[in-house]
Chains A and B, each alone.
Chain A
């Protein structure tokens, strides 16, 4: 179905059919070709100034970017063979003077400028304004990590301040439903690009703050050009986030996109999907954690009871009869000991008395009347009574007496007596 026409527009193989009024009927390719030729012929090679934006250098090495000023933009391309020779580094926000040909990229029907030469003019006014605003907010402390509030672990309700259409909201709802189906989700619909977007986003953040139960919100959108993401760079949005009573997760564009709202928010998510993953817990995982805690709780009580039982058993053991026996045995032993001591002391007493007795008997022996007999004395006893004779007057001639000597005795008859001489 290719129908190519030469620059003149004259048909070669399939001439355009004519409408009833005689005007030609184009194919899309034919019209696009004609527009391209018109542009190339009537605009052609031009010089222009603008800011570089949305710069992309894919693997091919060709440079794709947008040149823009306050009110308009044009797509630009610089082929690798030219861009490789540049003495400066192409950068976002750079103000440049460029020369190139205006042309049309036919497959997309997009007009663009094919840049041949480009020179830097310094940081552009838009970029400068942005940097100044960023600096001001930073000085005010809006980016201070100490301001950042913790994101609740299990919010009862989550608000999404984003576009109600498009991939971002679908991704977020899908992830939230999968991870934690019990979470209530409130969508606060706002435009996320264009001039009205910043105002709507800021208002949306304020509205969400009035809803009870909402414990965290995601503010964001899917990927797009830096112009598309721009509302999230605006001061109004930054201030609305800073004022929010409810913690804010910023999820703007892709991982590589940084916006002011990312800096002010309590948490920066890489993408809306990442934000959804962070905003609710994985309910399945949570249930597992709870089960594990339940088991630990049970085990801990069992262990606690076991240790109490052990202590009780220890106490019981100390009270058991065996202990009594021991105590009795202890007492018995004590008694035995006392008993032995008693016996020993008695023996000692007996020995002592024995020794004393010995001494006494020695002394007593010396007192014995028989002891004098050894020295030649004798004792005379009257027969048959046996009484000791102390006085001669007790005797008469013819009495029988018995006399004891030191050794042996003899019997005798009294011949006569002599009375004692008076003293």
Chain B
């Protein structure tokens, strides 16, 4: 399991820091280029995560042996709006 994969917000935070450092203008050209490369990588990761469309809605079910499984889930359509009093 890629459990320790950095999360989206970690990539985003890294990216924001890099942009701020670059904009600060205190870096050498070599450092700037290295940071830029790193920033582009973080950006790519962010886009990937954003586009990684699972689009899954599942319902959690307990199997007979006590384990857990999931099945696709579609809530029943509203035949008529339920109004609360």
Contact = CB atoms under 8 A, between A and B. Distances in A.
Interface residues of B, number: 45
Nearest to B19: A296
A170 B75 contact: yes
Nearest to B43: A294
B22 A210 contact: no
B53 A207 contact: no
B51 A182 contact: yes
Contact of A153 (B9, B53, B56, B70): B9
Interface residues of A, number: 46
B64 interface: no
A141 interface: no
A47 to B, nearest CB: 28
Contacts of A153: 8-9, 12
A182 B60 contact: no
Given A182-B51, A185-B58, A301 B33 contact: yes
Nearest to A185: B57
Given A154-B49, A290-B46, A187 B19 contact: no
A187 B58 contact: yes
A303 B53 contact: no
A59 to B, nearest CB: 15
Interface string A248-273: 00000000000000000000000000
Contacts of A210: 68
A204 B62 CA distance: 11
Contact of A152 (B7, B28, B33): B7
Nearest to B76: A165
Contacts of B58: 184-187
B85 to A, nearest CB: 9
B73 A212 contact: no
Contacts of A137: none
Contacts of B54: 182-184
Contacts of A187: 57-60, 73
A130 B70 CA distance: 36
Interface of A: 152-154, 156, 159, 164-167, 169-170, 173, 181-189, 204, 207-208, 210-212, 215, 222-224, 283, 286-287, 290, 293-294, 296-297, 300-301, 303-305, 307-308
28 contacts: A152-B7, A153-B9, A153-B12, A154-B8, A154-B12, A164-B59, A164-B73, A164-B75, A170-B78, A181-B55, A186-B60, A187-B58, A187-B73, A188-B59, A189-B59, A189-B60, A207-B60, A211-B68, A290-B50, A293-B15, A294-B43, A297-B19, A300-B19, A300-B23, A301-B32, A304-B32, A305-B29, A308-B28
